[in-house]
Structure 1
Amino acid sequence: MKNPSPIALSAVALLSLAACNNKPEVVDSRAPDPMASQLANAAPVETPPSIESSVSFRCQPGNTLLFVDFFSGGKMASLREKKDSMKSTLLKAPEAGKPFTAEGGYVIDGNAKAAKITLADGSTHSCKA
């Protein structure tokens, strides 16, 4: 049996090193994302505000109860006329500290301690937490 020549061994070594300069081919079965560039350039998403306080108001006239969730940032509030009601009205303020309003004539002027609340039927209630 013959031993391989040193020239043959060096040729094999050079061939194996020559393959190191090539980049590996990446195989992916998924199609490229058609919205990748739009998502990369999109504005950051702002998370919705969290509930800062949930208040049960005792209101006059009539000793009625109204339920309001005040959201962080002072620009949103949610009004429910019954405690367990799934129906709520979302009121918004143009800036923090201004009255919250919604379509139908709803107005909340105040904060989590005391507020003047106007309902859709036009009735105005002076409320305290």
Structure 2
Amino acid sequence: MKSPLLLSATAALLALAACNSKPNSAEVLDSNPDPMANALANRGPVELPPAIKAEKTFRCKDNSLLYVTLFEGDKLALVKTTQTGTPTRLTADKAGDPLVAEGGWKLTGDPKTITVTQPGKPSQSCKS
């Protein structure tokens, strides 16, 4: 009767003795300083890309189609003249300004109606 009690008491003491096994000092894994630590600490805030607000197909006055992706913040849009074509990136400095791109692109409007000027074509309105 005494030996199971003695055995369980010994096991309990060993378990408790292992609980206070903290190292005396912090463990150093790498002694080389991080060369970018200062640059990372002083960097500016990260700006996430805007979320997609609407992805629409517009029918224009000349009966052509435009495939437009509008983004939140109203400062970015992608325009394609064919469904599988390369998108043209139109940007604005602030919300409410016309979206423009090199070559003469200009776009204003909302997800229901836009006015677009394409290179070599007059300005026309388009509806989704």
Give the alignment's TM-score, normalised by structure 1: 0.74
**CA distance in structure 1 between the aligned counterparts of 2:25 and 2:94, rounded to whole angstroms:** 56
Alpha carbons of structure 1 residues 57 and 30: separation in structure 2 relative to 1, 3 Å: farther
Aligned length: 106
Cα-to-partner distance string for 1:105-124 (whole Å, 9 max, x where unaligned): 00002111101111122333
- Identity over the aligned pairs, expressed in percent? 40
Task: Determine if contact 1:105/1:122 at 8 Å carries over to the other structure.
Answer: no
1:79 counterpart = 2:64? no
The runs of 5 or more residues in structure 1 that have no matched partner are: 1-21
Paired amino acid for 2:49: P
**CA distance in structure 2 between the aligned counterparts of 1:123 and 1:53, rounded to whole angstroms:** 25
Give the alignment's TM-score, normalised by structure 2: 0.75
The runs of 5 or more residues in structure 2 that have no matched partner are: 1-22
- Any runs of at least 4 consecutive aligned residues in structure 1 with deviations exceeding 3 A, and if so which? none
**CA distance in structure 1 between the aligned counterparts of 2:41 and 2:83, rounded to whole angstroms:** 44
Paired amino acid for 2:69: D
Say what the alpha-carbon RMSD is for the aligned residues.
1.8
